[in-house]
Chain A
Amino acid sequence: MTTRGKLVLGVLLATLLYFGINKLVQSGVLFKKAATESVLLSSIELPSSAGGSRTNVAVPLAPLPSETPAGKGSPLVWEVMAWNSQMAGMLANGGPRTTQGSSLAAGGLDMQIVRQDDVAKMQADLVKNALDLQSNPETPGLLVSIMGDGLPAFSAVQPQLEKAGTGLQIIPYSVGKSFGEDKLMGPKEWLDNPKAALGKTVACYLRDGDQNIALKWCADNGLKVNPDETTYDPEAVNFMAASDFLVAAEKYIIGKPEQRVKVVKGKNTGVKVDVVADAVATWTPGDVNIAKQKGGLVNIVSTKDYSNQMPNIMVTTKRWYDAHPKEVEALMTALAVAGDQVKSHPEALSRAADISASVYGDKDKPGSYWLRYYKGVSEADRNGEVVELGGSKAFNFADNLALFGLNEGGTNIYAAVYKTFGDVQHQLYPKELPSYVPLDQMLDLAPLRKLQDKYRGKNLAPAEQQQFAADDEIRQSVSRRAWNIEFHTGQRTFTPAAEQQLDQLFNDLVVAGRLKVAVHGHTDNVGDAQRNQQLSQDRAEAVRQWLEQRSASAFPAGRVQTYAHGAQEPVAPNTTPEGKARNRRVEIVLGN
C-alpha cells in the first residue's frame, strides 16, 4: 500500500474510532455515571452561643512572655493555618517556639508552632507522627488545628491512622473561632429574596467550611443545592469548584463562563449552558480582593451569624494523647490562662498578633495586619458598598465549658456542629464521604471536667454571652423557612412526628448562635378567626418553650420571639386537605 493509501485508511479508522467511542460513552450503555439529583438539605444546625459582651470579672494583666526560648520541657509541634482564631495559643507560647515566662513554659511544655496551609499535608503528618511515635515514644507529639465543621471530612484520615495502630483524638479545648471572616458573598437582592439564588452559581473551595456556610444558608431558606459541580440545575443553587478560597474570589472577579450540562430533576437534558460565578464563599483576604477589584457583592451571611460553626479544633493521635495526660492538662491550662489575657487586655492581644505575624511569616503582613482583621473592619468596596471584613474570637476557659456543654443548662454545641456538617457532607457527597468517624470515638471530655472541678468555686472569667433584648425585632433577616411541625388537631401539643423536626430545628438554631429567632405561627381556615389567632399564638409559644427548655444557654431570654398570624397568611388554597396541611405551619425567621 502506498503512504497516501495508508494515510487515508489511518484517518478513516481514527475518525470511526473517535466517533464510535464518543457515541458509546455518551449513550451510557457501558459505564453509566451515577446520576446526581439536587438535594434539599433538611436542616443545617449550628449551635449558638457566645456573642460580644465584655467580660466583667477583671483578670489582672499577667507579665507578658519573654522572647528567649525556654529550651526545655516536653516537646510538641502545633501545625496551624494562618488563622486569627489562634491568638490565645500564640500568646500561650510566647513565640514560634515556647519562650521563658510563657504559660506553656510554666506548664513544662516546649512547643514549636508551624504554619501549614495544606490539609492533605496535615493529614499525612499525623500518620507519619503516629508511625514515629510507635518506633520511638520520645518523638514530639503533633497537634493540628482545623475548622470544627471541617473535621468530619478531615476524619477521612482515620483508616490510615488505624493502619498505623491508632486513631484521631480531639484535644477537648478550643483556642477560639471564626467570627465573621468566613462568609457567603452574593448580590444584594439575595438578602431580601433568597429565592433569587436558585439557578445561580456560588464559587468556592468545595467540601470545606466556606461551602458549609453557603450550604447552611441554602438549607435555612429551603433552597435545593446541586452537589454535582459538573452540571447545572436551574432549580437549585449550583457550585463552581475553585482550588482554594482565593481562586474562588478570582472566579467571580474574572467572570469567565464554564460550560456545563443542564440537568432538570436529576435528568441530563444534553443541553450545554454557560455558567458564571454569581456569588462567592470565601474568607479574608478573598473578600478584600472582591471588594477592591470588582465589588458588587455584599455579605449574605457569615460566621458572625453562624457563630458556632467554626471553632478551632485541635486534633492529635490517640497514641500521643493516651501516653501524655499530664501534657494535655498543662496545654489546656496554658491556653485557658492566655485566653483570658487576650480577651481582657489589649497589650496581650497585640503581643499575640506580633507572635502570629512571626509564625505565619508573610513579610507584608505585620502584627498590626492580623490585629486589624482579628477585630474585623468595615470597608467600602469599589462600588461604594460597605463590606465587613475579617473577624475572629479567642476563647477562655468558660467559653470552652459552653462550647462542650459543661456549663449549667448547656448543650454540647460542638457535637451539634460536628454531626450537622458531617451529615451534610455525607448527604451531598456519599461517594467521597461514605461515612465519618463518630465524635465520641475522638472526643473525651474527662480532662476538661477535671479542670472544671479543679477551678470550681474560683473566680473564673465568664464566657461571652450574647445578649438579646426581648423587644428588639429582627431588622435584617438572614433566612426564612417553613417548618412542618405537626400539632394535634386544634391543640398546642406536638405529635410524635414533630419531635424529629424539632430536633433538627434545634441543631440548626444552635449553629446560628448569634441570630435572633422569630417563630411565626399559622393555621388553616377551619374554625373562627379569633380562635385561630389564639391557636397560632399558642403553637408558636410551644415551640419557643420547647427550645428554651432544651437548652437555656443556647436560647437565653429574648432570643426567641413569637408571632401569631391565625389563618390570615395562607401559602396554599384552603380548599383541599393538602392545602390546609400546608397552611398549618410554623415559620422560622433568623436574623439580626
Chain B
Amino acid sequence: MKSLFLPNARPPRTTFALMAAGQAGLLLLLWLFYPLQLFPSLGDVLRALADLTTTQGLMPELWASMTTALQALGMATVLALLISYLTALPFFRPLAYAASKMRYLTLTGLTFFVALLVSSGHEVKLSVLTFATTVYLVTGMTAVMLGTTQQELDHARTLGLGEWRSFWEVVVLGKLADMLEVVRQNFAIIWTMITLVETLYQSEGGIGLLLYKQNRYLHLDGVVAIQLVILAAGAAQDYVFGLLRRVFFPYASLAAAR
C-alpha cells in the first residue's frame, strides 16, 4: 500500500490493478450519485449509447471512420518515413524542415484548394487527413533520426560497414521501433480531426458526422456517449500498437526504467 505513494516505486501488479479499478469505480459512483446540473447523467448516457447502437448505426459508422483513419495513417506513415529518411541526404533536408513546419497551418480554407485538386469528396477527406498526419509524423520521425548517437554510428563503422550500410542498419532498421511509437502517438491527431473532415463531406457518414448531428440538436447524452466510444476506440488502438511493438521489437524496451 505504502509503495503507491513512493517515487519510482514498483507496487505489486494486483495492488496496482485494484487501485486503478478503485479510482475508476469512484469516478463512476460520483457520476451516478452526484450528477452535475447540466452534464448528462450516467443513465442518460447509457440509454443514448444503446439507442445510437441499435437504431442509428453507431458501430458501422465507427468502422467507416476507423477504415478512413487507417487508410490515412497508412499513407501518411509511408510518406513521412520517406521524407524523414531522406533527411540523411543533405539535399532533402529543407523538405523535411518545411514539412514539419506545416503542422502550424490551419485547415480552414485549405480544403477548398484540395477539393480543386482531387476528384471526389472521399479523396478530399483522405488528403486532408493524410496531410495533417504526415506533417506531425515527420516532426516526430526526424527527431528520432536526429537522436541517433555518434556512438551508434561509430559502432557500425568499426564493424566495417560502409556509410549506406551503416545508415540502413542503425537508422532505418535500428529506429523502426521508435518510429512505430511515433506513429502510435500521432494517430490521435486523426481522431481529433475526423469530425471536421466528416462534416465537410457528409455523404460518407462516419462517427464524426454522428457526433456533429447529436451536437446540432444538443443531445448532450449522445455527445458524451460518442466521445466515450471514441475514447475506448483510441485506448484499444494504443493497446494494439503496444502489442505490435512487443511482438516485433521485443528488445526495444529493454533499456526503459522499471
Interface residues of A (CB under 8 A from B): 3, 6-7, 10, 18, 21-22, 25, 28, 30-34, 120, 123, 127, 131, 153, 156-157, 159-160, 163-164, 206-207, 229-230, 240-241, 243, 247, 250, 254, 256-260, 274-275, 431-433
CB-based contact B121/A33 at 8 Å: no
The residue that A431 contacts in the complex, of B56, B67, B205, B215, with Cβ under 8 A, is B56
CB-based contact B38/A275 at 8 Å: no
CA distance A207 to B218 in the complex (A): 13
A-B contact pairs, 26 of them (CB 8 A): A6-B248, A10-B248, A25-B59, A28-B60, A30-B59, A31-B53, A31-B59, A31-B60, A32-B57, A33-B61, A156-B217, A157-B218, A160-B220, A163-B37, A240-B202, A241-B199, A241-B202, A241-B203, A243-B199, A243-B200, A258-B120, A258-B201, A259-B120, A260-B203, A274-B120, A431-B55
Chain B residue at minimal CB-CB distance from A9 = B247
CA distance A258 to B54 in the complex (A): 27
CB-based contact B247/A10 at 8 Å: yes
Chain B residue at minimal CB-CB distance from A159 = B218
- Additional A-B contacts beyond A3-B248, A25-B59, A163-B38 (4; CB < 8 A): A33-B56, A156-B217, A256-B121, A432-B219
**Most chain A CB inside 10 Å of its own CB: which residue of B115, B119, B200, B217:** B217
Q: Report chain B residues within 8 Å CB of A274.
A: 120
Nearest first, the 6 closest Cβ-Cβ pairs linking A and B are: A33-B57, A241-B202, A258-B121, A258-B203, A31-B59, A156-B217
Chain B residue at minimal CB-CB distance from A430 = B55
CB-based contact A123/B120 at 8 Å: no
Q: Report chain A residues within 8 Å CB of B214.
A: 432
Q: Report chain B residues within 8 Å CB of A31.
A: 53-54, 57-60
Q: Shortest CB–CB separation between residue A443 and chain B, in angstroms? A: 21
Report if B175 contacts A (CB, 8 A): no
Q: Shortest CB–CB separation between residue B129 and chain A, in angstroms? A: 16
Chain A residue at minimal CB-CB distance from B58 = A31
CB-based contact A254/B204 at 8 Å: no
CA distance A31 to B38 in the complex (A): 30
CA distance A247 to B196 in the complex (A): 14
> In residues 42-56 of chain B, which contact A (Cβ within 8 Å)?
53-56
CA distance A241 to B218 in the complex (A): 19
CB-based contact A164/B202 at 8 Å: no
CB-based contact B219/A34 at 8 Å: no
CB-based contact B60/A230 at 8 Å: no
CB-based contact B244/A10 at 8 Å: yes
Chain B residue at minimal CB-CB distance from A158 = B218
Chain A residue at minimal CB-CB distance from B54 = A31
| In the complex with contacts A30-B59, A31-B54, A254-B115, A259-B218 CB distance below 8 A | no
Q: Report chain A residues within 8 Å CB of B38.
A: 127, 160, 163-164
Q: Shortest CB–CB separation between residue B24 and chain A, in angstroms? A: 26
CA distance A177 to B202 in the complex (A): 30
Report if B105 contacts A (CB, 8 A): no
CB-based contact A207/B216 at 8 Å: yes
Report if B101 contacts A (CB, 8 A): no
CA distance A259 to B120 in the complex (A): 8
Q: Report chain A residues within 8 Å CB of B219.
A: 156, 432
CB-based contact A258/B218 at 8 Å: no
CB-based contact B56/A230 at 8 Å: no
Q: Report chain B residues within 8 Å CB of A18.
A: 67
| In the complex with contacts A256-B115, A431-B55, A21-B216 CB distance below 8 A | no
| In the complex with contacts A33-B60, A207-B216, A254-B115, A230-B121 CB distance below 8 A | no
CA distance A10 to B244 in the complex (A): 9
CA distance A230 to B63 in the complex (A): 15
Q: Report chain A residues within 8 Å CB of B216.
A: 120, 207, 432
Chain A residue at minimal CB-CB distance from B202 = A241
CB-based contact B122/A259 at 8 Å: yes
CB-based contact B217/A153 at 8 Å: yes
CA distance A34 to B55 in the complex (A): 5
CA distance A241 to B204 in the complex (A): 11
The residue that B63 contacts in the complex, of A25, A163, A243, with Cβ under 8 A, is A25
CA distance A256 to B116 in the complex (A): 8
CB-based contact A259/B119 at 8 Å: no
